[in-house]
């Protein structure tokens, strides 16, 4: 079954404690990206990757890092989380960065920073 | 600035009724427009994808229309069901395929 898997699904952490949200896809997709979703706002892109070792900033990259060492994995790293990073995070993937490809989303990761 | 606006912000209808959701965008150059359904706390799921040359696209009881001249799209839901209760998100992709602009969504509640 085609899947984008995120972990953890729910996390409460304290300010400044580094955390990583993992994302894995089993569809051999080249394009992966991270979004955050906040009340009243559309999904906003944090980072995206067009292929292994190729990453780029989205609209709201501050405070986040990513890596793409393998095609299937695209972890999101919060080096020093702050309360304004409390949000619902989605990982997504598609076959390539071409405009006609379906985007598959993970189930989301609820992150609370206190 | 590339933007996608959706209306209404929220909508309540009775089961079995039809409804129409609106999407206006300023994304340019335009490549395609997508509608997604997002259940509460879940990831968005694709409903339709329409390119510049397509005026309408159906997926079961969901029918999307696109007017690229006026930069408007609508999503029509026929004979609504309780399971249609969700947020519906309009997404517009630019011609380079890299810039995905998401609307804020319309929250639909279908009551028995």
pLDDT tens for each residue of A58-80: 889 999 999 999 999 999 999 99
Kindly indicate the confidence band of residue B1, based on its pLDDT and cuts at 50, 70 and 90: confident
Asked if the bond preceding B8 is cis, omega within 30° of 0, the reply is yes
Lowest-confidence segment of A16-25, A58-67, A94-103, B75-84 by average pLDDT: A94-103
Kindly indicate the confidence band of residue B40, based on its pLDDT and cuts at 50, 70 and 90: confident
Task: Decide: helix, strand or coil at residue B83.
Answer: helix
Query: What pLDDT does residue A16 have?
Result: 96
- Identify the residue whose tokens are 């602009």: B101
Lowest-confidence segment of A22-31, A93-102, B66-75 by average pLDDT: A93-102
How far apart are alpha carbons A40 and B97 in whole angstroms? 25
CA distance A92 to chain B (A): 9
**A108 contacts B43? CB cut-off 8 A:** yes
**Which among B42, B89, B104 has the least Cβ separation from residue A107?**
B42
* Chain A environment of B48 (Cβ under 8 Å): none
Query: What pLDDT does residue B97 have?
Result: 63
Chain segment A41-57, per-residue pLDDT in tens? 888 999 999 899 999 99
Query: Of A5, A103, A110, which to mutate for an interface test with B (greatest number of B Cβ within 10 Å)?
Result: A103
**A41 contacts B42? CB cut-off 8 A:** no
Q: Is residue B94 pLDDT above 90, yes or no?
A: no
Share the mean pLDDT of chain B: 92
**B45 contacts A43? CB cut-off 8 A:** no
Helix (H) or strand (E) holding B16: none
User: Looking at the complex, does the CB of residue A77 fall below 8 Å from at least one CB of chain B?
Assistant: no
- Two tokens, residue A31: 């394009």
* Chain B environment of A105 (Cβ under 8 Å): 43-45
How far apart are alpha carbons B48 and B34 in whole angstroms? 5
The 3-class secondary structure across A52-94, one letter per residue, is: CCEEEECCCCCCCEECCCCCCECCEEECCCCHHHCEEEEEEEE
> How large a percentage of chain B has pLDDT more than 90?
72
User: Looking at the complex, does the CB of residue A40 fall below 8 Å from at least one CB of chain B?
Assistant: yes
Q: Is residue A34 pLDDT above 90, yes or no?
A: yes
User: Looking at the complex, does the CB of residue A4 fall below 8 Å from at least one CB of chain B?
Assistant: yes
Backbone angles phi and psi of A105, in degrees to 5: -105, 150
The 3-class secondary structure across B61-80, one letter per residue, is: CEEEEEECCCCEEEEEECCC
CA distance B66 to chain A (A): 16
From B84, B77, B74, select the one nearest B62 (Cα to Cα): B77
Query: What pLDDT does residue A97 have?
Result: 66
Kindly indicate the confidence band of residue B7, based on its pLDDT and cuts at 50, 70 and 90: very high
How far apart are alpha carbons B101 and B33 in whole angstroms? 10
Query: What pLDDT does residue A102 have?
Result: 83
């Amino acid at each position: 079954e085609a899947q984008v898997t995120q972990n953890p699904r729910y996390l409460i952490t304290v300010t400044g404690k580094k955390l990583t949200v993992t994302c894995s896809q089993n569809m051999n997709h080249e394009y992966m990206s991270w979004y955050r979703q906040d009340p009243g706002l559309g999904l906003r892109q944090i980072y995206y990757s067009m292929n292994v070792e190729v990453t780029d900033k989205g609209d709201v990259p501050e405070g986040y890092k990513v890596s793409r060492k393998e095609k299937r994995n695209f972890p999101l790293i919060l080096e020093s989380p702050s309360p304004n990073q409390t949000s619902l995070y989605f990982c997504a993937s598609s076959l390539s960065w071409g405009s006609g490809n379906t985007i598959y989303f993970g189930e989301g990761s609820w992150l609370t920073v206190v | 600035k590339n933007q996608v606006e959706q209306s209404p912000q929220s909508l309540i209808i009775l089961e079995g009724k039809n409804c129409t959701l609106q999407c206006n965008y300023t994304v340019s150059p335009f490549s395609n427009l997508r509608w997604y359904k997002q259940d509460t706390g879940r990831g968005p799921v694709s409903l339709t994808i329409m390119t510049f040359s397509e005026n309408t696209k159906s997926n079961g009881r969901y029918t999307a229309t696109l007017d690229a001249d006026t930069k408007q799209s609508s999503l029509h839901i026929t004979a609504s069901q309780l399971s249609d209760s969700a947020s519906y998100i309009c997404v517009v992709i630019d011609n380079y395929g890299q810039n995905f602009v998401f609307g804020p969504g319309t929250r639909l509640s279908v009551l028995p």
